[in-house]
Each structure stands twice: as C-alpha cells, then as structure tokens.
Chains A and B, each alone.
Chain A
C-alpha cells in the first residue's frame, strides 16, 4: 500500500469545487493551474461522464481503470539503449512526483497502485538514443509509472513504443534538466480492443528544450494527456501529435502547456484523420500564460480531416493569459472534410482516386510524422497509415522514397 497521499499545494478550495459538484455546468475551476491534483484515487469523486475532463470520453467502458484494482507490478520491457539507463526505482524515489501529480481519477488510481517506476535516465551531457518497447501488459487492468530524466546538457531521443493487448492506466513524468534537449516519442499501436489512459507530466528547467511527440493509431480507447510546465526561463516545448481513428476507435489527447517562467516558448500541433462511422477523436488544448511568464511566445493548433460520414472530431483550444507582456499567443482549430479540389487536381494528373485519397491523407498526417526525425520509425508509421487507408502495397516503404 502507498504511503500518505501527496496532494497539490492548494487543493482545499478547488478540491472542494471538484468534490461537491462533479458537474461541468456548475462553477468551473478558475484557472487550469489550480486544477485539483492528488496521488490518491478516492480523493477524486466517481466519474459520471458529465465532468468537463471526461464528458467527451466513453467512461462507461473504463470502469476497470477508473475504479478497479490495478496490477502495479513490474512488466517486461525491451530496450535498445546507448548511454541512457533503464532501471526500476522504488516508490519513494524523490523523482516520483517531482514533475506533476495525478489530476484525474484514473491517473490517481495508477499512481497509488504502482510498486515502483521505470526510470529512463540520460546522463549529464550525454548524446544518445533510447528505444523502449512495451508489448507484454496483457489484457488484465494494470498501472504503470515511468520517469524520464534528461540530465543537464544532454541531447537525446527516447522512443516509447507500446503494442499488444492492454488495459493500462499510467503516468509518465518527464524531467528535462537545465539546458537538456529531449525528444520523446510515445507511439500507441495497441491491439484493437485495448484501453489506455495516460497522463504525461513534463517539467522543463532553464533553457531546456522538449519535443514531445504522440502517435496514436491502435487501440479501442486511447487517451493521452500530455502537460508541460515551462518552469525555467528560456525553456521551450514543442508538442506534436498525430492520430488516425478508424471505425469504433476513440482517440483523445488533452494537451496543457503552462508558461510559468519568463521568455518561454511553446508550439502545439496535433493533426488527425478519422475514417469510419464510429471513429471519434478529441483534442483539448489548454495553454496558460502565468503572471511571471513575460515574453511568452505560444501557439497551438489542431487540424482534423474527416474522411467519411458519421465520424466525429471534437477540437477545443483554450487560452488563459495572466500577463500582458507577451510576444505572441495564438490558437487555431479546423476540422474539415476531404477537399474535392485536391482530389480533382491529383486525378487530373492521372492518379487514380484511391491513390489520390491516400496521397492527400498521408500528406496531411505526414507533416507530423516526418518531424519525428527517425527515418525507420517514420517509414513504419507511414506504411501503417497507408495500410489503414487500404493500400495493398504499403508493407514496404514507397519505392524510391529516399531523396
């Protein structure tokens, strides 16, 4: 059992708001930064599906992760490691909880259920790459906690690949120390009946740079909520996301960027395509520019391409500004159908309709994929998306693609 629950510094007032109502029509939490947080599941009321943070999620299918007992033991990982280390750390390690704390019931359930955390650590000043593959969670409800630590001055790329069966609630803490540059790629390619609720908490120290990339393709319900606190002056986060929701899939991403320090920069770009009558996606993007974040430069956007009737994409950008002294803050959201003029243009060059459609969708999603910076993974994702779009020859990368 866990030790005494950790709680955020000012939970009383807002915890009260959360506890006493639980309905989104009642008084909202005043600021995104003041959202209630706790490591203890029962500090959160039972989820009804009416809460702002759950109302777009099929919560009835998530009972096991929200309310049930979770197996928080170790699981098998496969790692391709250079200079970075992959180890298990106990619950009382000081790094756990240092980047954030669970802000919803599923995350808290995971937090208090884990026996320890998987630590992915990049030594100070090191330049390296690390690929961690997780394929053995199995169908039983589980909890996981991961701490990623990019120590000062390091430059690294870490890829977290998830496949296979899963019912997983997890927290991922990402510590980007002073001057470190980290690219973290989280790829969800679960089996089609998998359920996955993830909260990522990144904390960036002075002059740290994080590229956080989420790729969600497989799974029945996948909800990844990445947050980044720009705690150190001059820190910089880029959050990229790409998702392709097919019939019966619910893919959800709630991003949150907190500009807490001066001269910080953020860019959030999430793009998704939906195909099939039951395909769903949700993107909610919160940006908070705090009172001390003078000189902030922030922009977030979400684009969705709806390929068939009956698919539904929700897209909600939110911007809170508590200082007037900023460089820029903007947001954009667009959800559109397939552009027939693009189709006509490609077909008028001899390209058959299904190939033209694939080209457009791959182009649309590829804008994110091609920014991962790992050619092998990019080709794999490209081929996977092409297969989902019905390309019979998408097993191998497109001929002559190198350029």
Chain B
C-alpha cells in the first residue's frame, strides 16, 4: 500500500506579465488502488497539478508538499520521481526524432528497474501490450510519437503505463481528442493496468465522458487553483448535468 500525499500545494508560473499564482493551496491524498478524478473548467490548474507532480521546470512550487510514502517528491529530479513510481501520461506527448519506440521503451524500462529486461521476454511483453491497445506492431520501429495521430500518441502513453508499472499514474486529459472507440481502448488499458498492479490513479479531465469507462472512487472539482468540492462518483454525474457554471460564477462574485 502506497500513498501520494499533497498538502497545501501552492504553485506559480513566470509569465511576461510577471509571476502568476496557479495553485493556491491544494490538499489531496491518493492511495494504491484508488482512482481520483480531478475535474474542472479550463484554466483551473488541473494540468499544473499534473506537471508539478512530475516536476516540469516551468512550474515553481511556492509552498506546501508532495510526498510519496513519506519521501519528499519535490526534492527529487524529474527522472528520480519516475523511478520512485510516479508516471505522467501527457496530454501532448513529445516527438523524439531518430529514437525508435523499441529503443525508448527499453531504455525507460532499464532506467526504472535499474537493470535491462531480458531481451526475449521483453519483446513479447511489448508486443502484447501494443496489441492490447490496438497499436500495429510496426509502431515499435517508428520514432517516438513522430507522425502519430492524437489517438496513437495517447495509446502509446498507456503502453508505457502498462510496461513501466508505476505506483501512481497521473493521466492528464488522456481523453482529449479521442473518438469513442479509441476512448474505450485506452480506458480498458488503464483498467487492465489497475487490475494487474493495483496502482493509484489521478485522472484529470474536463469532461465526464471518460468516467463512464474508468469509474472514479473520488471526484474533486478544481476551481481557481484549489479544490472547490469533493465527493464520490455521484458528483461526476451532477457535473454532467449542471456543468461548472455554479463554481465559476461563485468565484467571479468573490472577485
């Protein structure tokens, strides 16, 4: 049983107009086996939370803490966080010319495990994972994300999730840009990984659509850099009917 704990997290970014506060005190605890949906309107800080957990240098932590089983995540480099068991499935995965998927996956697996996987067993594992996500075997020899469609990039992220077996996964708008078929394939992949490894999931999304396929245990509504409301899956159903207007107008009246 592992625990990812976020306490009073405050994060800013540098803009042309000066420093801008994005997260204004976020508290969140995710345990192994739990799925937490982070929902909220655009600009509420959902993706900032995702990238701050992963350690993107663009975001400055002004205060608060992130710990993984008591270890200070904020003190770790980006790669050390990944080796500690944190995985970020990105909304816009990056293209890496000249680096094949095969080479990339093996290098990442070796880094995470501290030892190279056995060649034959690894190849089979990769092939199975790609097949399960309906990625053609030819993708293995293509360069990372280069020329991939939006849906192929997302499926490739879930292949990595399955192969790298993290303790916690942050899925940043994994549903964006997917048609219904692709959404099902990706969701099945996430559910399969969860069943196999019992990881904890932080599912960041604007829409409730993906929550029909990946059932959350907890729903947190993000507004203006903090958690405005929390609840069980029923909260997502209410958001589907009512949208975010209630929260957004409330914020606007405060100023």
| Residues of A participating in the B interface, judged by any CB pair closer than 8 Å | 339-342, 344-353, 355-356, 359-360, 362-367, 370, 398-401, 403
* Contact status B97-A344, CB under 8 Å: no
Given A400-B119, A403-B141, do A350 and B96 touch, yes or no (CB 8 Å)? no
Give Cα A398–Cα B116 distance, bound, in whole angstroms: 11
**Chain B interface residue bracket vs A:** 35 or more
- Do B164 and A349 have beta carbons less than 8 Å apart? yes
Assess A345 versus B93: contact at CB under 8 Å? Given A350-B111, A352-B79. Answer: yes
Judge whether B56 is part of the interface by a CB distance below 8 angstroms.
Answer: yes
When chains A and B are docked, how far (Å) is the Cα of A399 from the Cα of B102?
13
Q: Are B77 and A351 in contact (CB under 8 A)?
A: no
**Docked-complex contact B96 and A345, CB < 8 angstroms:** yes
Is B90 within 8 A of A349, CB to CB? no
B residues with a Cβ closer than 8 A to A are 54-57, 77-79, 81-83, 87-88, 90, 93-100, 102-104, 106-108, 111-112, 116, 119, 140-141, 143, 160, 164
Cβ of B54: which chain A residues have Cβ within 8 Å of it?
A: 344, 348
Asked if A363 contacts B111 (CB within 8 A), the reply is: no
Q: Which residues of the other chain, B, contact A345 by a CB distance below 8 angstroms? A: 90, 93-94, 96
Which residues of B sit under 8 angstroms from A347, Cβ to Cβ? 55, 77-79, 82
Q: Looking at A345, A353, A365, which has the most chain B CB atoms within 10 Å of its CB?
A: A345
A-B contact pairs, 17 of them (CB 8 A): A344-B78, A344-B94, A347-B77, A347-B79, A348-B55, A348-B78, A348-B79, A349-B108, A351-B79, A351-B111, A356-B79, A359-B107, A362-B98, A363-B98, A367-B97, A398-B103, A399-B116
Contacts of A339 in B (CB 8 A): 94
Q: Which chain A residues lie closer than 8 Å to B87 at the CB level?
A: 348
Residue of B nearest to A339 (CB): B94
Complex contacts, A364 vs chain B, CB 8 Å: 97-98
Are A350 and B97 also in contact (CB < 8 A) when A355-B107, A400-B106 are? no
A349→B97 contact, CB < 8 A: no
Chain A minimum-CB-distance residue to B123: A403
B77 to chain A, nearest CB (A): 7
CA separation between A327 and B95, bound complex, in Å? 30
From A399, which residue of chain B is reached at the shortest CB distance?
A: B116
Which residues of A sit under 8 angstroms from B83, Cβ to Cβ? 350
**Could you say which residues of chain A place their CB within 8 Å of the CB of B81?**
348
Q: Which of B55, B95, B143, B160 contacts A349 (CB 8 A)?
A: B160
